[in-house]
Amino acid sequence: MIGELYEEALTGRRVEIEDGAGRRRPLPVDQWRAPRPGDAGLLARCAGPVLDVGSGPGRLTVALTERGVLALGIDVTEHAVALTVAAGGPALHRDVFGAVPGAGGWRTVLLADGNIGIGGDPAALLRRVAELRAPDGRVLVEVAPPGAPSRVESVRLRTGGAVGEWFAWAHVSADDVAGLATRCGLAVGEIWEEAGRWFASL
């Protein structure tokens, strides 16, 4: 049901995220489709080949491709992959914890738009993407602003009478990303802010 409701959101239907306290907010699909303020600095730091993890409808994969940077998006939703391909970006239907082509050879791995939260275990995710990057590669991560709490929450998607299953999602603060990186055998090379968004290069 998670994938089905996510696909519905990508087709334009209003889908909400609900947390354990019953609070709801719209799934921000529109932010994932079109270029966002803050993307420029992130894209400028990407050296190819780039693996865009949780690429969604593919705005970053497509933008890199248009710049002549070799990039590949991976997403767990087939419709998201189809949208990326239709827009001119290469993408595959893959889970980052499964078989990913080019493992150990990606010079940049992207975890944008809060995708450090995938799986609800940011340490496990960073260890996995560290395996996927090249020895001289880096991971570019979007994080929560300084002062925001790092946390794991249970959320689910819902629209109309359809309700998805609960799943874990993590949030990592810019204050805590260095410690997290160290535990995963990585180091912070840079933390920057652009257009109210915060990022780290690991």
Rounded average pLDDT over 109-132: 96
Q: Looking at the predicted structure, is the pLDDT value of residue 184 above 90?
A: yes
pTM for this entry = 0.93
Structural domain harbouring 145: 2-201
Rounded average pLDDT over 99-117: 96
Share of the chain above pLDDT 90, in %: 76
pLDDT of residue 122: 97
Q: Looking at the predicted structure, is the pLDDT value of residue 48 above 70?
A: yes
CATH number of the domain within which 131 lies? 3.40.50.150
Q: Looking at the predicted structure, is the pLDDT value of residue 64 above 70?
A: yes
Q: How many domains does the chain have?
A: 1
Q: How far apart are CA 160 and CA 4, in angstroms?
A: 13
pLDDT of residue 12: 76
